[in-house]
């Protein structure tokens, strides 16, 4: 992953040779203003989004004779609510993390199972929309028949302090799935996603470290998310370890059927999703579905998945590996799984 850029590059570069304090005072302010604007834009991208504005709910309608197409939930633009047979239930299982770990892939793979009904969009109820109330949340869920499992995924739950207590308040029996990935690779992927939306950001290492290659900046969300052991410690105050399944984001790419087998076992489902459902797309670099839900044609995830990562100096990668190593080992001990990141 080593790149050609020097370690002194990025937004934190110093004065050029031969410049003194007087010259610095006379220097144009445009570059400084541009850097400030870019950092401000990045901060806005990194902040949690807002809950959709509420709208007045319509009066209840009589049950239709035939199930119509999925309708939109009042007050939640973009979140479909299925109508028809069955009933809406609170999720029995949640994919709670982590961002850029492979949560979208896992959800799409699980939706191949006939006994899984999952909300396609991320509702962000337990981190952004909790004030809407549990009835509002349940109304977002797809209808399910007896024996089917209701699910949703919102990766930011894992790093939200209030989420474990709120989910426990909904149901202490909720099954929790956490997709984890090498925290260094995950941080670079996180940065790549933000960079695609906000071109011109400071370099990765300028954001990851204070003062060049000084202390790692754990205030930066791309770094902080990868402290899995710290986040899990908080969750274990509310849920026993037996309520969790930790999915390897790396194995979800290299051995998708095997990881899906573990997930189906954890959810108490028959192993319906198997090797026959996947093929490896060499262009994207990850598995695709031979037959997507509701389609007769193969399907890969959206164009934003598998985007190329920016080149990061090898010295930066080594520093981050050293930084994460003790946290990774603690996470291995806590979960009883060695993810092989070290």
| Plot region of 294 (φ>0 → left; ψ -120 to 50 → alpha; else → beta) | left
103 annotated to a ligand binding site:
yes
Active-site residue, 153 included: no
308 annotated to a ligand binding site:
yes
Taken in order 229, 50, 99, 4, the sign of the CA dihedral is negative
Residue 325 half-sphere exposure toward CB, CA atoms < 13 A: 8
80 annotated to a ligand binding site:
no
309 annotated to a ligand binding site:
yes
Buried b (16+ CB within 10 A) or exposed e, 262-272: bbbebbebeee
Strand partners, 278: 289
Residue 76 corresponds to which tokens in the numbers above? 């939640």
224 annotated to a ligand binding site:
no
**Residue 309 CA to chain centroid, in angstroms?**
17
Strand partners, 153: 95
113 annotated to a ligand binding site:
no
104 annotated to a ligand binding site:
yes
List of residues 6+ apart from 326 with CB closer than 8 A: none
**Identified catalytic residue from 99, 100, 153, 175:** 100
Q: Residue 140: which H helix or E strand, with range?
A: helix 134-140
Rounded to an integer, what distance in angstroms lies between the CA atom of residue 275 and that of residue 272? 10
3 annotated to a ligand binding site:
no
Alpha carbon of 242 to those of 146, 172, 198: distances in Å? 24, 12, 40
β-pairing, 116-118 vs 149-153, is parallel
Q: Let me know: does 175 contact 267? Beta carbons within 8 Å.
A: yes
Cα-based angle 235, 236, 242 (whole degrees, multiple of 5): 110
102 annotated to a ligand binding site:
yes
306 annotated to a ligand binding site:
yes
Binding-site members are 100-104, 181, 189, 305-309
Q: Which residues are catalytic?
A: 100
User: Residues marked as binding for 3'-phosphoadenylyl sulfate?
Assistant: 100-104, 181, 189, 305-309
């Amino acid at each position: 992953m080593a790149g050609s850029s020097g370690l002194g590059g990025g937004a934190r570069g110093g004065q050029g040779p031969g410049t003194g304090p007087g010259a610095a005072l006379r220097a144009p302010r445009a570059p400084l203003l541009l850097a400030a604007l870019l950092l401000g834009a990045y901060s806005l991208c990194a902040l949690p989004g807002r809950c959709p504005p509420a709208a007045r709910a319509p009066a209840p309608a009589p049950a239709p004779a035939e199930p119509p197409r999925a309708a939109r939930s009042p007050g939640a633009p973009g979140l479909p609510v299925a109508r028809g047979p069955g009933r809406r239930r609170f999720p029995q299982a949640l994919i709670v993390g982590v961002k850029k770990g492979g949560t979208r892939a896992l959800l799409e793979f699980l939706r191949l199972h006939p006994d899984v009904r999952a909300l396609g969009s991320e509702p962000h109820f337990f981190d952004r929309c909790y004030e809407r109330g549990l009835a509002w949340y349940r109304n977002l869920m797809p209808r399910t028949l007896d024996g089917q499992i209701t699910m949703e995924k919102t990766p930011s739950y894992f790093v939200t302090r209030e989420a474990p207590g709120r989910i426990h308040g909904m149901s202490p029996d909720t099954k929790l799935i956490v997709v984890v990935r090498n925290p260094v690779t995950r941080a670079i992927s996180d940065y790549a996603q933000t960079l695609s939306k906000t071109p011109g950001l400071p370099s990765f290492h300028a954001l990851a470290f204070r003062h060049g290659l000084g202390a790692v900046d754990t205030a930066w969300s791309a770094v902080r998310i990868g402290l899995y052991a710290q986040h899990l410690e908080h969750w274990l105050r509310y849920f026993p370890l037996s309520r969790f399944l930790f999915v390897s984001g790396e194995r979800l790419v290299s051995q998708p059927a095997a990881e899906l087998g573990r997930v189906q076992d954890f959810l108490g489902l028959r192993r319906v999703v198997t090797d026959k459902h996947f093929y490896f797309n060499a262009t994207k670099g990850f598995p695709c579905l031979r037959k997507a839900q509701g389609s007769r044609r193969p399907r890969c995830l959206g164009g934003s998945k598998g985007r190329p990562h920016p080149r990061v100096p090898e010295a930066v990668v080594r520093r981050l590996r050293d930084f994460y190593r003790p946290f990774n080992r603690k996470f291995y001990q806590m979960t009883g799984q060695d993810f092989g990141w070290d």
